[in-house]
Amino acid sequence: MFSYRHGFHAGNHADVLKHMVLVQLLEHMLKKDKPFWVVDTHAGGGLYDLTSNYATKSGEAEDGITVLWEYRKDKSIPEAVRDLIKQIGVVNDGDTLRWYPGSPQIAAQMLREGDHLRLFELHPTEIKLLEGHFASVKRGVSIQCADGFTNLKGCLPPPPRRGLVHIDPPYELKEDYRRVVQTVADAAKKFPTGTYAIWYPEVARRESQQLPGQLKRLAAELPKVDWVHATLRVKAAEPGGKGLFGSGMFIINPPWTLYDQLAEALPWLVETIGQDDHAAYTLEAQQS
């Protein structure tokens, strides 16, 4: 446990999918004047240096955000991709790509005065980075060194009764998959109108393959719940079943615009950052 460091993976294809969806969810919530909360159960360090030893050792950003960055001035790319690149640009200087914002930083730079960002992180190194990153922020952000799975239910429903819950564990342990489902089930009982965005890895592991079906069954048990499920696979699984070849996002109570935005963006991403003939996407939805 605690071996996972997101700095190795920052800006990779999984982050592209995850944060593209996150930006669209935030954009939708910002259309209403009423404030809202964002709760991130596994916040990470907040901001990642793509020139650090962690990032250059893996080189994963080279096949993800680095490719998309070349399209930053192309107005013909899908809107959802363009919106993501815009948020990446907020933390970078001019045309130079050095920094990659994690979900806490993306949310922080999009939220308004009156909105609130609630962050949980348990990793001893990541929590120090997170606290240091937001040290100068005096209001609108609260950080807790705690297990986001365990503590999510206690902060729901948020006072404004509007909220987005981002669930993005490292899935180091098989138990994480089970805990995702149980956490969402418990949270949705307390805050049924909240939007829940759950990321998961596509790896050669039974628990990963079963998770989308478990979330669909959970959603079916909730009253009048819509969902969108999107996956992005960039390559074939490696021999021996090791490695991350894709990822998925399962969104409960999504905005009605999300499906069409992803229908435009996902095929483009397959063509742009797909690494072999096995690159593909899936997109499905359920409306109550």
Confirm whether 260 is domain-assigned. yes
Confirm whether 1 is domain-assigned. no
Whether 200 contacts 233, CB under 8 Å: no
Mean pLDDT of the chain: 94
Question: 120-177, pLDDT tens digit by residue?
Answer: 999 999 999 999 999 999 899 999 999 999 999 999 999 999 999 999 999 989 999 9
Q: Is the pLDDT of residue 4 over 80?
A: no
Split into its structural domains, the chain has a count of: 1
CA distances to 38, 39, 103, 166 from 194, in Å: 10, 11, 18, 11
Distance CA(70)–CA(256), nearest Å, equals 30
168 catalytic residue (yes or no) = yes
Pick 177 or 4 by higher pLDDT.
Answer: 177
Print the domain residue range for 264: 6-286
Distance CA(147)–CA(127), nearest Å, equals 11
Question: 70-91, pLDDT tens digit by residue?
Answer: 999 999 999 999 999 999 999 9
Q: Is the pLDDT of residue 245 over 50?
A: yes
Confirm whether 17 is domain-assigned. yes
Of 15, 83, 115, 168, which is the active-site residue? Answer: 168
Confirm whether 93 is domain-assigned. yes
DSSP line for 21-34: HHHHHHHHHTTSSS
Distance CA(190)–CA(158), nearest Å, equals 10
Taking 3-state DSSP, the helix, strand and coil percentages for the chain, each rounded to the nearest 5, stand at 40, 20, 40
CATH of the domain at 49: 3.40.50.150
**H helix and E strand count, the chain:** 10, 10
Confirm whether 230 is domain-assigned. yes
Confirm whether 158 is domain-assigned. yes
Question: 92-107, pLDDT tens digit by residue?
Answer: 999 999 999 999 999 9
Distance CA(102)–CA(162), nearest Å, equals 22
pTM of this structure: 0.96
Distance CA(215)–CA(217), nearest Å, equals 5
